[in-house]
Amino acid sequence: MDKKRILITGAAGFIGSHVARLFINKYPEYEIYNLDKLTYAGNLENLKDIDKNSNYKFILGDIVDSELVNNLFEEYKFDGVIHLAAESHVDRSIENPMDFIMTNIVGTVNLLNAAREIWKGSHENKRFYHVSTDEVYGSLDLEGFFYEDTPYNPHSPYSASKASSDHLVRAYHDTYGMPVIISNCSNNYGPNQFPEKLIPLFINNIRNNKPLPVYGKGENIRDWLFVKDHAAAIDVIYHGGKIGDTYNIGGHNEWTNIDLIKVICKVMDKKLGRANGSSEELITFVTDRAGHDLRYAIDSQKLQNELGWKPSLQFEEGIILTVDWYINNQKWLDNVTSGNYQKYYNKMYENR
């Protein structure tokens, strides 16, 4: 299989950095290009262990800039795209939807157009892999799962923008025969996640003895997958997935927020040598998120049956690895929470 020059968008972010590291180490014969705008969520520190590798190149740029994107495709003639660049946080999308529309929708179409232009004539060994989320399917009651053919029903500006980009990617397959693949994954956790998402935010707040803001009653349910298992799934889907198909990725690992938070509190008490129960005292119930989806749960049988992927880690191991990483990388946390983070935090949480 060819697919040697791969553009990974958003590889300075959380999941993208794990995908880039996996590809750079596992496929030394590939050339990996990372196009990233370095928003608040993008951090070159995430890749500092591999950024000197000869098969890796970082390109600073915005996928919304169509001229730049076209020029890059023209210059590097990418064989494959793994598209992860996105605005990714639901709460930010509620505050400011327009950034999500521009990056997640317009940016995706810019990449599709540029790939279509240089791949016209032959799609052999070409692949446009769009990384998406289970949030496009909407919200479940306490029963049932999301399947690949579950109708889309997004509720937040974030999930609606991702749903829109998924539809456009499929439209480019159906209309122009573009060699696309989509995967929809459940909530990820692990090292290098920006501390605005639940797990790293709460680890950081416990570390700093700050309140733990639980939305509503903490009864919402998420299905958590360790980020390296998501990266491994992306690898098998990129190489073995069927063109035009969709794959759901998830770990059958559902937790109510409040139960999950109590696990984090316990692990943190132990790691920080604090009295058992002291972190739980920081739990504070706050105003619920607008349009808060009750439950996400993925059925990933198709991926398991067709491509043999399955999660490698139990949640109990993954959360310990995760807490260890943040405790051992407090400088990383301090760096990403300096600057504008405080402004963001005050705006998001002061009136809850």
CB of 273 to ligand NAD, least distance (A): 30
Of 20, 64, 303, 333, the one binding ligand NAD by CB under 6 A = 64
Region near ligand NAD per CB under 6 A, out of 73-81, 185-193, 202-210, 340-348 = 185-193
Establish whether 254 is a catalytic residue.
no
Backbone angles phi, psi at 80, to 5 degrees: -145, 155
Gyration radius (Cα) of the chain, Å: 20
Q: Which lies closer to ligand NAD via its Cβ, residue 111 or residue 282?
A: 111
- The reply on whether position 222 binds ligand TYD by CB under 6 A is yes
Q: Which lies closer to ligand NAD via its Cβ, residue 39 or residue 156?
A: 39
198 binds, among ligand NAD, ligand TYD, none (CB under 5 to 8 A by kind): ligand TYD
Size of the site for ligand TYD (CB under 6 A): 12
Establish whether 79 is a catalytic residue.
no
Q: Which lies closer to ligand TYD via its Cβ, residue 112 or residue 185?
A: 185
Question: 194, 224, 199, 226: which is closest to 212 by C-alpha?
Answer: 199
Q: Is the dihedral of CA 89, 94, 96, 102 positive or negative?
A: positive
- Check 36, 62, 79, 135 and give the catalytic one: 135
Query: Can you read off the two tokens belonging to residue 191?
Result: 């090292």
Which strands sit side by side in the sheet containing 127-133, from one edge to the other? 56-60, 31-36, 5-9, 80-83, 127-133, 180-185, 246-249
Greatest distance between any 2 Cα atoms in the chain: 66
- The reply on whether position 197 binds ligand TYD by CB under 6 A is yes
Of 19, 131, 198, 336, the one binding ligand TYD by CB under 6 A = 198
- The reply on whether position 300 binds ligand NAD by CB under 6 A is no
Binding to ligand NAD by CB under 6 A, coded x per residue (else -) over 96-115, reads -------x---x--------
Q: Which lies closer to ligand NAD via its Cβ, residue 277 or residue 291?
A: 291
Establish whether 30 is a catalytic residue.
no
Region near ligand NAD per CB under 6 A, out of 11-19, 111-119, 208-216, 292-300 = 11-19
Q: Which lies closer to ligand NAD via its Cβ, residue 206 or residue 234?
A: 234
Applying CB under 6 A, the residues found at the interface with ligand TYD are: 90, 187, 197-198, 201, 213-215, 220, 222, 257, 289
Which residues participate in catalysis according to the annotation?
Answer: 134-135, 158
Applying CB under 6 A, the residues found at the interface with ligand NAD are: 9-10, 12-16, 36-39, 41-42, 62-64, 84-88, 103, 107, 131, 133, 162, 185, 187-188, 194
